[in-house]
Amino acid sequence: MFYNPSYLVLAIVFLGITLAIQIGYFWRTKRKARIPDSNQENSDQTKATTEFERIFMTPLTIRARSAIYVSGATKQKILEIVRKVGGERMTVTSYAEHILRQHLAQYKEEINRIYEERGKKDLF
């Protein structure tokens, strides 16, 4: 049975978004629940927060935009993350863009391999 490769890529992207949202939510929940035992733990936590913020919480200006639809539950989780973790200028659009860019960079080779198996050249 043959599937349209663009649907496969779209499914992979949405799975990546869902996973990133769940990881972000879990990370934020665990971070609040932790009681640091030492100064070293505080330092490690600050580094992790900085890395997350560097990758996902940097506001972007996106001029040519396109709509992507997600479930209401996913939208609420994203809104909560952006409101509570992001800065004043952070938007849901910027956060979603960062998640998708990270996902595509992380799975670039695997996506291309699957796409090639369907008889096409590299997407990226």
Q: Kindly list the domain boundaries of the chain, sorted by start residue.
A: 42-57+67-124
Give me the pLDDT at residue 35, please.
Answer: 44
Give me the pLDDT at residue 97, please.
Answer: 92
pLDDT (average), residues 71-81? 94
Instruction: Give the residue among 81, 103, 76, 105 at the shortest CA–CA distance from 91.
Output: 81
Model confidence, pTM? 0.56
Give me the pLDDT at residue 34, please.
Answer: 47
Please write the tens of the pLDDT for every residue from 14-61.
Answer: 666 766 676 665 555 554 444 445 455 555 666 666 787 888 888 888
The alpha carbon torsion through 81, 83, 84, 85 (nearest 10 deg) reads 70
**Mean pLDDT, the chain, whole residue set:** 77
